[in-house]
Structure 1
Amino acid sequence: MRWTHYLAIGTLSLTLAACTTSPTGRSQLTLVSDAQLNQMGAQAFEQYQQDLPAANAAAQRYAQCVADALVAELPDNQRDQNWQIRVFESEQANAFALPGGYMGVNTGLLEVAENQDQLAAVVAHEIAHVLARHANERVSTETATKMGLSVLSSASGLQGAGGQQLMGALGLGAQYGILLPFSRSHESEADVIGLQLMADAGFDPRASLALWENMSAAGGGQPPAWMSTHPSHGQRIGGLQAQMDSALARYQQAGQRPSCARP
C-alpha cells in the first residue's frame, strides 16, 4: 500500500500549492486554469443562446443598463473581462453566471425583481460569483473529493458488493458534508460581495432584502437547508441584514444614482 501513501502525499501537496484567497479573505482551492474555465464558460453561454429564446429588446436594454453600472465600479483588471448579459424568455425566476463574465437572467426573475435596485442585487450577486472564482473552486473541490475517495478505496482494499456499498455511503457523506455546504458558502459570499458592489454603483442595498422577500413569497416550499445548494431565504435575508449598515455607508458615498428604465 506504499504507493497509495505517496499518492495521498502528492494529492496533499497539489492541494496546498493550489490554495488562493477569495475577495473576502477566505482560503480557496483552485486546481483548474482560469483560461480553460473561461473557454468552457463561453461555450456554455453560446449553447444557452441557441437553446433558449431571447427576450425582447427592452428587457435586454434594462438588464444591460444595470450590468454596465455595476461593471463600471470594478477595478481595471476585473472590468476588462468580456462581461456579457442576456435575458431569456423563461417563467423560472432564475439567473446564472459562467466563468469569463457571461451572465443570464430569465424574464421570470424580472417579474419578481420589481425595480432596478432589486435587479441590481441579482446581477451583482452573479458578478460576485465570477470575481470570487467560485466555478473554479467548485470544480476543484469535486475533483479533490473524488481523488480522496479513490485513494481511500485503494488503500482500504474495499472490493466486492460490501465495499461498493460502503464507498457509496462515503460518497453520499461527501456530497452532503463537503460539496453542498461548500456551495452554500459560495452563495453567502456572493451575497456579501454583491451587496457591496451594488452599493458602490449607487443602487440601494436595502432592495436586496425586498428581493429575497419577494423570492420567498413566490418560491413555495424549499428543501431543508442542509440538503440544498443554496441557503434558505431566511438565512440569506439574515446574512444581508448583518452587512446592511456597512453597505448603506457605501451607498451614501457612491457618486452616482443609475437610472435604468424597467420595461
Structure 2
Amino acid sequence: MNWNVPLKILLLLSAGFLAACSTVEGTGRAQLNMMSLDEEISLGTSAYKEALADETIIRKGPAARRVRMVGERIAAAANARHPSIAGEFDWEFVLVDDDEIVNAWALPGGKCAVYSGMLRVARTDDMLAAVMGHEAAHAIARHGGERLTQSAVLGIATDIALQDSAPGSRQAVMTAMGVGVVLPFSRMQETEADYIGLFISADAGYDPRGAVQLWEAMAEQGASSIEFLSTHPSHGTRIDELEELMPRAMEVYENRMQVGLLEPVRLKEATPSLPARKKNRK
C-alpha cells in the first residue's frame, strides 16, 4: 500500500475534525459535527416535508390540541434553557394519524411529529411531555448532524484502510464497526436525549416522574430489546438512569411550579404544504 496519499488525506481530515469539534448543548460532551446549525435546520425542514408528505395530519380535535399545548410548553422551556440552539428553531408539533405506530420524532430545526399510537401509551400529559422533551432534545443536541458526520468519517476511514483489500472485507469491517461503534454511539445519544429532555419537560411544568412511567408503559408493550444489538438502551437501563436523575429533575419541576409557568411559544398552524393525504394501507 502506498501510505503517502492516505497520510495526506488523514492529515487534511484531522484539520477538518479539529475545526468541527464542539460541545453538546446541555451536557458539555465533546462532539464532532461538520455541519453548521443553519445547514442542519435547512436539511431538517426539507426532510420534515418529505417525511409527512404521505401521512394524514390530525389538525383538529382534543388529541391535536393536546399535542399542540404540550409542544408549546416544551418549546418555551427549550428556548429558555438552550437559547443559542433552540432559540433559532421554528418549532412545529404535528399529530400523525396512525394508531399502529407508537413513535415520535424530531428533526433539526424543531420539526416534531407524534403518532397517534403513542397517545395510547403516553396516557398523561406528563408522559407525553417526556416523549416530546426527549425528541426535542435530539434536535437541541444536534444529534442529526453528528450522525451524518459519523457516517462520513467511518466511510472514509474504511475506504482508506481497505483500499487494497478484497471486496468482501469492506462489508465485514463495516458490520463490525456498526456493532462496535455505531450502536453504542446511538445508545449514548439516546441517553443524552433522556437527560436533556427530562430537564426540559420539568422546566416546562410537567412532572418528570412521567418519564419513568412512560418507559414502564413502553416495557409493557412488548419484550425488552437486547441492548447489545439495539440502538436504544433497554427499558430497564433507561428507568434506572432516569431514577438517578430524578431528585435534580424534581427540584427543577418544583421550582418552576413555585415561580410560575413560562409563556408558551405560540406555534403556527401545521404547515399548509403538508397535505392531509390518506395513506394507502395494505
TM-score, normalised to structure 2, is 0.85
Matched to 1:18, the amino acid is: A
- Aligned-CA RMSD value: 1.7
- 1:82 alignment partner, SS class: coil
Residue aligning to 1:179:
182
How does 1:36-47 map onto structure 2 within 5 Å?
36-47=39-50
5+ unaligned residues in a row in structure 1: which ranges?
A: 259-263
Structure 2 partner of 1:134:
143
- 1:119-157, Cα deviation, whole Å (9 max, x unpaired): 000011011111100001011011111110011113xx2
Query: Unmatched 5+ residue regions in structure 2?
Result: 263-282
Residues 1:104 and 2:108 aligned together: no
Q: Deviation at 1:37?
A: 2.4
Deviation per residue, 1:151-175 (Å, 9 max, x gap): 1113xx21xxxx2222221111111
1:70 pairs with 2:79: no
Figure out how many residues of one structure are paired with residues of the other and give that number.
Answer: 252
Residue of 248, 251, 260 corresponding to 1:249: 251
Q: Do the aligned partners of 2:44 and 2:107 also contact (CA within 8 Å) in 1? A: yes
Query: Which runs of structure 1 show a deviation greater than 3 angstroms over 4 or more consecutive aligned residues?
Result: none
In 2, Cα distance between equivalents of 1:168 and 1:113: 40
In the TM superposition, residue 256 of structure 1 has moved relative to its aligned partner by 3.3
Aligned to 2:235: 233
Write the distance in 1 (CA, Å) between the matches of 2:199 and 2:148: 26
Change (3 A) 1:256 1:117: farther
Letter in 2 for 1:144: V
1:211 has 2:214 as partner:
yes
Deviation digits for residues 67-119 of structure 1, max 9, x if unmatched?
11121122344234100010001121100011111000000001100111100
CA distance, structure 2, for counterparts of residue 152 and residue 57 of structure 1:
54
Following the alignment from structure 1 to structure 2, what is the Cα–Cα distance between the partners of residues 97 and 44? 11
Q: Percent identity?
A: 34
How far off its partner does 1:222 sit? 4.4
TM-score normalised to structure 1 length? 0.91
How far is 1:35 from its partner? Answer: 2.0
